[in-house]
C-alpha cells in the first residue's frame, strides 16, 4: 500500500515537472543569421541579446550564422532554426511554391547593399560586357545584380556572371570581377585598399520599395511557440529604436560583433542611420511587401499568376501586439508610419 502511494506521488510530481520543462523548451528560439561575421545592418537581434531585451521579454534566444539568406531559409524550413532572417524575395518565392511560412517582422525593410565597381565603370550603362560577381544563382548578389542590370536596360546575357566567395571584397580588390554587391562596412574596407572603388548603385535608392529581409517562421512554430515569438518581436523592435537613439551605447557592441575597425563601423553606421535603413515599427508595409512579391513574378522567379497575397506572406499579429505595448515610433530619427 505504501509503495502504491509512493508511485501515485511520483506521478503527481511528474505532472508538475513535465509541463514546466515543456514550457522552458517553448521559450527557446534559434535565429538563423545570413552572414558571419554579421554586418552592421543585421545588428538588431544581436543587440537585443547584448542589452538583455530578450530576457526582459521572457524569451531565450540564440543565433546561428549560415552562408547566405537562402541557406538560412532552408534551415528554417528543415527545422534546424526557428526563425530565419531571410530576404523578402526568397520568402515570397518559397510561399508561392507552397511553403507553410509567414513573415512576422520586417524591421530591416530597406535594401542595404550597393553595387561597388572600379573607375572603369562610371554609369550603369558601362556594366555591359563586365564580370558580375555573385555567390550563387538565385542568391543575394545574383538577385541584386540582376536588379541593377534591369534598371540599366542590360540583358543578363550581355554580362559574365562569376561565382566568388561569400566574402567578395578580396575578389573585387584583386580585379577578379568588375562588380561586387557589398554592405557599407565592406565597401569602406575595400576603398581603403583600392581608393578608386565606388558605388555605382545603392539598392535602397535604386529600388526603394523592395523589402530587404523578413523574420520568417514556419506556421508550426507560430502555433507552438507563440509566446516566445511575441517576446522576440518586442526585443528586436526595441533594439532597433535604441540604434536610432543611443549611438554611444550600440557602437562598441557593433564593433565587437563585426570585427571591423571602429572608424569603418562608425562611418557605415552613420550612413545607415541617415538613410533610415531600419524601420522602428513593424516594417510590414503592404505596398512594400506586395511590390517585392510582384517583382519576383515580373523577373520570372514566381510563376505567372502565382504571386502570393499580403495575407499569405505576413502574419502581423505579433508585430501589432508589440506596437500596441511599446507605442508607435515617432522619432526623433526616421519617423515612419505604423505598418
Q: What is the pLDDT of residues 230-289, one digit of tens each?
A: 999 999 999 999 999 999 999 999 999 999 999 999 999 999 999 999 999 999 999 999
Is residue 104 domain-shared with residue 170, that is, in the same domain? no
Is residue 102 domain-shared with residue 185, that is, in the same domain? no
Query: Domain for residue 74, yes or no?
Result: yes
- Indicate the helix (H) or strand (E) that contains 28: strand 28-33
Is residue 36 domain-shared with residue 134, that is, in the same domain? no
The Cα 49–Cα 56 span in angstroms is 10
**Biggest CA-to-CA distance, the chain:** 91
> If you average pLDDT over every residue of the chain, what do you get?
89
Domain boundary among the residues 141, 171, 206 is at 206
Is residue 269 domain-shared with residue 289, that is, in the same domain? yes
Domain boundary among the residues 142, 176, 206 is at 206
Is residue 220 domain-shared with residue 294, that is, in the same domain? yes
**What's the structural domain count of the chain?**
2
List the grid coordinates of 294: 510582384
Q: How confident is the model over 154-172, as a mean pLDDT?
A: 87
Is residue 246 domain-shared with residue 322, that is, in the same domain? yes
**CA–CA distances in Å: residue 264 to residues 82, 188, 315:** 32, 6, 37
CATH number for the domain that contains residue 23: 3.40.190.10
Confidence of residue 7 (pLDDT cuts 50, 70, 90): very low
Is residue 220 domain-shared with residue 314, that is, in the same domain? yes
Query: Domain for residue 338, yes or no?
Result: no
Query: Domain for residue 1, yes or no?
Result: no
Residue (of 167, 154, 126, 131) closest to 259 by Cα position: 167
pLDDT score recorded for residue 336 = 61
The model carries a pTM of: 0.85
Q: Does pLDDT of 166 surpass 70?
A: no
- The residue segments making up the domain with residue 321 are 7-110+210-326
Contacts with 39 (C-beta within 8 Å, 6 or more apart), sequence order: 183, 185, 186, 258
Confidence of residue 13 (pLDDT cuts 50, 70, 90): very low
Is residue 52 domain-shared with residue 180, that is, in the same domain? no
Q: What is the pLDDT of residues 310-336, one digit of tens each?
A: 999 999 999 999 999 999 998 878 766
Is residue 219 domain-shared with residue 104, that is, in the same domain? yes
Helix (H, G, I), strand (E, B) or coil at 177: coil
Is residue 138 domain-shared with residue 230, that is, in the same domain? no
Beta strand extents in 55-204 (DSSP E only): 60-65, 83-87, 101-105, 114-117, 131-134, 160-163, 179-182, 198-202
The Cα 108–Cα 218 span in angstroms is 19
Is residue 102 domain-shared with residue 124, that is, in the same domain? no
Bridge partner list, 182? 114
The Cα 214–Cα 104 span in angstroms is 7
List the grid coordinates of 62: 540564440
Bridge partner list, 199? 116
Q: What is the pLDDT of residues 35-78, one digit of tens each?
A: 888 999 999 999 999 999 999 999 999 999 998 888 999 999 99
Is residue 104 domain-shared with residue 126, that is, in the same domain? no
Q: How confident is the model over 167-186, as a mean pLDDT?
A: 88
Amino acid at each position: 500500500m505504501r509503495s502504491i502511494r509512493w508511485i501515485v506521488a511520483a506521478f503527481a510530481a511528474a505532472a508538475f515537472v513535465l509541463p514546466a520543462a515543456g514550457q522552458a523548451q517553448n521559450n527557446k528560439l534559434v535565429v538563423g543569421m545570413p552572414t558571419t561575421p554579421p554586418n552592421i545592418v543585421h545588428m538588431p537581434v544581436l543587440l537585443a541579446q547584448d542589452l538583455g531585451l530578450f530576457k526582459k521579454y521572457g524569451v531565450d534566444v540564440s543565433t546561428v550564422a549560415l552562408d547566405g539568406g537562402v541557406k538560412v531559409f532552408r534551415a528554417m524550413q528543415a527545422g534546424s532554426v526557428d526563425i530565419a532572417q531571410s530576404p523578402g524575395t526568397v520568402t515570397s518565392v518559397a510561399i508561392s511554391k507552397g511553403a507553410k511560412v509567414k513573415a512576422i517582422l520586417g524591421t530591416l525593410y530597406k535594401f542595404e547593399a550597393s553595387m561597388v565597381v572600379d573607375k572603369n565603370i562610371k554609369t550603369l550603362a558601362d556594366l555591359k560586357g563586365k564580370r558580375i560577381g555573385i555567390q550563387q544563382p538565385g542568391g543575394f548578389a545574383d538577385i541584386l545584380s540582376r536588379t541593377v542590370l534591369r534598371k540599366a536596360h542590360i540583358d543578363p546575357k550581355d554580362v559574365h556572371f562569376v561565382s566568388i566567395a561569400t566574402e567578395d571584397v578580396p575578389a573585387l580588390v584583386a580585379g577578379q570581377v568588375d562588380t561586387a554587391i557589398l554592405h557599407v562596412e565592406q565597401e569602406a574596407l575595400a576603398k581603403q585598399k583600392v581608393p578608386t572603388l565606388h558605388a555605382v548603385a545603392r539598392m535602397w535608392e535604386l529600388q526603394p520599395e523592395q523589402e530587404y529581409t523578413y523574420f520568417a517562421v514556419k506556421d508550426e512554430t507560430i502555433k507552438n511557440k507563440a509566446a516566445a515569438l511575441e517576446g522576440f518581436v518586442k526585443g528586436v523592435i526595441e533594439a532597433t529604436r535604441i540604434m536610432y537613439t543611443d549611438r554611444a551605447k550600440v557602437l562598441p557592441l557593433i564593433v565587437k560583433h563585426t570585427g571591423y575597425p571602429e572608424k569603418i563601423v562608425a562611418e557605415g553606421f552613420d550612413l545607415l542611420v541617415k538613410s533610415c535603413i531600419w524601420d522602428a515599427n513593424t516594417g510590414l508595409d503592404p505596398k512594400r511587401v506586395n511590390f517585392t512579391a510582384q517583382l519576383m513574378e515580373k523577373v520570372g522567379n514566381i510563376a505567372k499568376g502565382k504571386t502570393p497575397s499580403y495575407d499569405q506572406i505576413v502574419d502581423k499579429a505579433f508585430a501589432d501586439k508589440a506596437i500596441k505595448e511599446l507605442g508607435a515610433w515617432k522619432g526623433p530619427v526616421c519617423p515612419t508610419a505604423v505598418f
